[in-house]
Amino acid sequence: MLIPDPTQLTETPDLHGAYPRLSADQVKILATRGERRHVRRGQVLIREGERTDQFLVVLRGKVLVITGYGGDDARVIRVHGPGRFLGELGLLAGQVAFSTAMPGEDAEVLAVPLEALTEVVQRDTALGDLIVRAYFLRRELLIGMEAGFRIIGSHYCADTRRLREFAGRNRLPHRFVDLEQDSDADKVLRSLGLGPADTPVVIWRKGPQGLVLRNPSNAELARAIGVTVLRPETSVRDLLVIGAGPAGLAAAVYGASEGLATTALDAIATGGQAGTSSRIENYLGFPAGISGAELAERAAIQARRFGAEISVPAEAVALVPDGELYVVPVDCGGRRMEVVSRTVVIATGARYRRLDAPGIGEFEGTCVHYAATLIEAKLCAQRPVAVVGGGNSAGQATVFLAEIAPVVHLVAREDDLGENMSRYLVDRIRRHPRVVVHPHSRVRRAVGHGSLEALVIEDDHSGGRRSIPAEVLFVFIGAQPCTRWLADTVALDDSGFILTGVDAEPAARGEVWQHLDRPPRILETSRPGVFAVGDVRHGAVRRVASAVGDGATAIRMLHEHLEHTGSRAS
């Protein structure tokens, strides 16, 4: 691409806090662990699609941030001057870069090895928080501008929906090109020697050669992006955490920080249901609220910093006792591996229930969604939206979407929203001018030709039906525990939730328990050394803070189990 004239380069203003300028003292601290480098105009510092292990600070001159570098659609999206730093969230998460950085004029940068940066920010928490916060905001901006790779396919295709969900849940910058609506899609496919039958296709100008994946598995896409996939391992873990929502991530953080050899797995993405929440406003220590995605990413970075291995996508398919150990077969996108661990923390949570009404299935993945993140919210501008549900998840989505959509219809079965929703959400919903609440009502039918146009709802009191306009629908009507993979390994209640502590005691029988000479601890299941935390546990308080508390508490009990059995990895 043609690099702009240096005299025409104007630094991108920092309107959102995503491009802070480091102070002279902060640069001085980083300089003790970094190397000053003179770089020439046009020299690639960070290349889109490739990993970098250095944190770069601009000392002199201006540096361009470019998407699509090397292609016809290359464009400069940012310009950074002295005192600013380069990169975004992928640098901390071990992912490849989603943009290219190069000087727009001869310049000087400070290159700090990532390991050295980690040591510096551990001592200077203010600097660490500044960098992490900026990186989160940059990731959101990249997602909003649809940078990164492209997914080309039909919105009617199940594999296309699968790839879009994986990219969305893992907060990966990308753009969806719909075969049914984008006239340029066929042209792009033909230029690659492909046709509609080859879709879905992932296309990315990754490095000089580019990347084309035909209907990749989630694991194949993850490996291409740099999302960690479970590596073959022969050593025995101290702790295997299955599920990386708030409870699982808390267990991973506390386990790894206390020296346990820790691996955490998740079938889709870190964050669990909380990761799909647009804003959590009642979590301790965040008076302005925090998005579920940011909370999850912060926890994942923290766990990795303590040495935990976090693998996505990696789905546990069984739990097999083997003496005092547990063997867990794991499906990594079609590849089977086994993880052996001394203890297991089950944090698989619960999955959203699907709305059972005529017409809903036709629009799932395109107009009907079970999460309200920035990815889905972009679909709502200038379009009427409906949210179904009466709990906190529905309330949070309603408040978030009402800032984007012209009208949000909240359909709830409850007579009073306060029955299952926090008061602060109820108050905000009632005050919002673009929210219309339909109490004691349920959806009876989805209407539309090719895309959703309206919902038919029924009043539970009068039995009357009416139509409300809705081009996008968000569903939050409860969840089912993710425990089918456990079969009869641990005791479950009638609804499939895992029994722990006193509730699990009647099923805790056999020589193993006799040898231990104790009942299950509070969070321990009917199998010794196997704990259940968060929403998957019978009797759990379904709040993020409670899930985090479960994860931390389980590690204390797990230590006691390991000390009693004399089992611990070297």
pLDDT at 538 over 80: yes
Q: What is the structure's pLDDT at 349?
A: 92
When pLDDT is averaged across residues 58-85 and rounded to a whole number, the result is 92
For residue 309, what is the enclosing H or E element?
strand 309-311
Pick the more confident residue, 181 or 307: 307
Confidence class for position 567, pLDDT limits 50, 70, 90: low
Least reliable range by pLDDT among 105-119, 126-140, 269-283, 348-362: 269-283
- Residue 384 contacts by C-beta under 8 Å, 6 or more apart in sequence? 405, 406, 407, 408, 409, 468, 469, 470, 471, 472
- Rounded CA gap, 257 and 158, in Å? 40
- Rounded CA gap, 507 and 520, in Å? 10
- Rounded CA gap, 23 and 29, in Å? 10
If you average pLDDT over every residue of the chain, what do you get? 91
What share of the chain has pLDDT > 70, as a percent? Answer: 98
- Rounded CA gap, 77 and 192, in Å? 26
Q: What is the structure's pLDDT at 492?
A: 96
First to last CA, the chain: 53
pLDDT at 205 over 80: no
Confidence class for position 136, pLDDT limits 50, 70, 90: very high
- Rounded CA gap, 403 and 246, in Å? 26
Reported as a single tens digit per residue, the pLDDT across 309-327 is: 999 999 999 999 999 999 9
Both tokens assigned to 184:
């340029």
Reported as a single tens digit per residue, the pLDDT across 258-267 is: 999 999 999 9
Cis peptide, bond prior to residue 313, ω within 30 of zero: yes
Closest to 65 measured CA to CA, from 141, 170, 129, 133? 141
Tell me the backbone φ, ψ of residue 327, rounded to 5 degrees: -105, 125
- Rounded CA gap, 511 and 508, in Å? 10
CB 251 within 8 A of CB 244: no
**Residue type for 78, please?**
R
Tell me the backbone φ, ψ of residue 192, rounded to 5 degrees: -100, 5
Domains of the chain: 6-144 (2.60.120.10), 149-225 (3.40.30.10), 237-351+484-565 (3.50.50.60), 360-477 (3.50.50.60)
Q: What is the structure's pLDDT at 73?
A: 78
pLDDT at 365 over 80: no
pLDDT at 566 over 80: no
Dihedral angle sign, alpha carbons of residues 235, 239, 241, 244: negative
What percent of the residues of the chain are helix, what percent strand, and what percent coil, each to the nearest 5?
A: 30, 25, 40
Cis peptide, bond prior to residue 200, ω within 30 of zero: yes
- Rounded CA gap, 251 and 276, in Å? 20
Closest to 276 measured CA to CA, from 258, 298, 296? 296
- Rounded CA gap, 303 and 359, in Å? 43
Specify the DSSP class assigned to residue 569.
Answer: -
When pLDDT is averaged across residues 168-190 and rounded to a whole number, the result is 89
Reported as a single tens digit per residue, the pLDDT across 474-532 is: 999 987 899 999 988 999 999 899 999 999 999 998 878 988 889 999 999 999 999 99
For residue 162, what is the enclosing H or E element?
helix 158-169
- Between vectors from CA 25 to CA 24 and to CA 27, what angle results, nearest 5°? 65
Confidence class for position 570, pLDDT limits 50, 70, 90: very low
No. of H helices and E strands in the chain? 15, 28
